[in-house]
Chains A and B, each alone.
Chain A
Amino acid sequence: MSSAPIAVLDTDVIVLLVGDEKSKARTGIVRGRILAMKEKGYSFWVPVPVLAELSTAGASLAALTKALSLKLDGLRTVELGVAAVESLGQMVAARIAAAKSGGKPYEGTRAAMKFDAMIAAIAHTLQAKYLLTANTRDFTIFFKAVKSKTEIHRADVPNPAFAYQLLLPESTTSGKADVIQMPGSTQTKG
């Protein structure tokens, strides 16, 4: 039986992985995180609602969605299964109840909330260790609603538990011999 810990990817992580020059820093961190987690034996799962969210987003993502759809074959995609639907209902109900009772209002659109809830429900149903996201919105309420053990993991901010050196550092001209760090050599135990 497979015991690989599971990391589920949120939509913005997918977008950041295709990063350009402007997003170089965040893209670098996300790529490093994936590589560090891969070294630790994590398997990566892409919820189908992520693909749906990409395809319903604006024109800027149309080309990305098209290019990605041709390369999905080797990625582990996972549908919103019937087992996740009950959790999804509980999550959405909790979000609505929080809004009704004067809690923090949801910061995204209605559509974004539905996609977020679906992605969270899938991560919970898979018993994923992490939901990797670059989303600043609050997933906590979704996971709390179902007493989930899945943790929200910001993939675009440095995390010492998953450090990964993507680029070789520039050599310095100090008297001592240069030390070149190879990818993976800086990771700490997490």
Chain B
Amino acid sequence: MPTKRPDLSDIEVALVGRGVSLETVSIGKLAELLRVAQELVAELAAELSAPTPTASLIRLRNKSAAYQLHSTDKHWRPAARRLTRALRERGKNENPRVRDRIRALYSIAGRDVRVRVTLVDKTGKARGKEVIVEPPATTETPVSFSTTLYGRLVGLFERADGALVVQLDRDDGGRVVLIADETLFEKATSLLRKTVRASAVGSWDPETREESDWRLHALELWTESDLVSTMKAVRDELDSKGVKLDVEAALRDLEDPS
């Protein structure tokens, strides 16, 4: 009589590495691990046009720190199988959101620790192939783009490799490091701690969705005008030219320029 194949439809998510045990994993780390795993399952279920299946944590293993997730939801099994495939293939052919969640799962592990995902049966004894989570392979090259930055010039220094660096506290948040040429760097010295407008070219990584490698192309002192006063000045100019602006008609024009 042929032996029945084990039903590997539970997912065991584990943190593995030297010295890792249930005791060494903080509640915060565990919560993050489970949250990201759940988000990844949700994204994959969405790919399968299924609602997010609900799952429960039913078993802990103290060999490393392993957490077994189980569900009776009918959408769980296909999502679980898709999960191991997506991880095995490092997110190849998956959409950016799935790849982003795979990257997040990989990032939870940290130094000397890895995340391992295994399909197991409900008892946890029959086990499928273990998959160590790796970040998605980068398939796209960074995109170069130009933009205008507003902010306060807060730093100037020369790097060990000789690159001249201008630091800007952006008005829209965050600090950006811009590589400048000699002329712009010299100009920047007179603008230290002042509000500036900078034209820059940066690189956009579609995988990580991060901007980097900023190069400064133009820099000038910038003073913000009062918005209301500026718009009043526009109005005055129109008045002085005898232009009658019917705002309501203009708003209608915006709706239907034809």
Contact = CB atoms under 8 A, between A and B. Distances in A.
Given A71-B225, A82-B145, A126-B172, A63 B255 contact: no
Contacts of B150: 76
Contacts of A112: 254-255
B136 interface: no
Contacts of A108: 255
B201 to A, nearest CB: 11
Given A67-B237, A71-B233, A74-B223, A60 B173 contact: no
Contact of A57 (B143, B173, B254): B254
Interface residues of B, number: 48
A4 B171 contact: yes
Contacts of B257: 56-58, 109, 111
Nearest to A77: B148
A31 interface: yes
- Best-buried of A22, A53, A57, A82 by chain B (most CB within 10 Å): A82
A110 B241 CA distance: 33
Nearest to B243: A63
Nearest to B241: A63
Interface string B241-258: 101111111110111111
Interface string B202-219: 001000010100000000
A16 interface: yes
A17 B230 CA distance: 9
Given A2-B173, A15-B254, A68 B234 contact: yes
A79 B237 CA distance: 26
Contacts of A63: 238, 241, 243, 245
B170 to A, nearest CB: 7
B235 interface: yes
A73 interface: yes
B173 A3 contact: yes
A60 B257 CA distance: 10
Contact of A75 (B172, B173, B225): B225
Interface string B66-108: 0000000000000000000000000000001000000000000
Contact of B175 (A1, A45, A81): A1
Given A23-B247, A81-B145, A83-B204, A74 B254 contact: no
A74 B249 CA distance: 27
Contacts of A12: 251, 254
B199 to A, nearest CB: 11
Contacts of B170: 1-2
Contact of B250 (A43, A45, A56, A57): A57
B1 interface: no
Given A64-B245, A79-B148, A18 B235 contact: yes
Given A57-B254, A58-B257, A127-B172, A18 B234 contact: yes
A116 to B, nearest CB: 10
B211 A20 contact: no
A82 B173 CA distance: 17
A18 B231 contact: yes
Nearest to B145: A82
A148 to B, nearest CB: 15
A71 B151 contact: no
B202 to A, nearest CB: 9
B174 interface: yes
A3 B238 CA distance: 36
A35 interface: yes
Which 5 A-B pairs have CB atoms at the shortest separation, nearest pair first? A74-B225, A58-B253, A17-B231, A23-B247, A82-B204
28 contacts: A2-B171, A12-B254, A15-B247, A16-B247, A17-B231, A18-B234, A18-B235, A20-B245, A31-B228, A31-B231, A38-B226, A54-B254, A57-B250, A59-B253, A60-B246, A61-B254, A63-B238, A67-B237, A67-B238, A71-B225, A71-B234, A74-B222, A75-B227, A77-B148, A81-B145, A81-B147, A111-B257, A127-B172
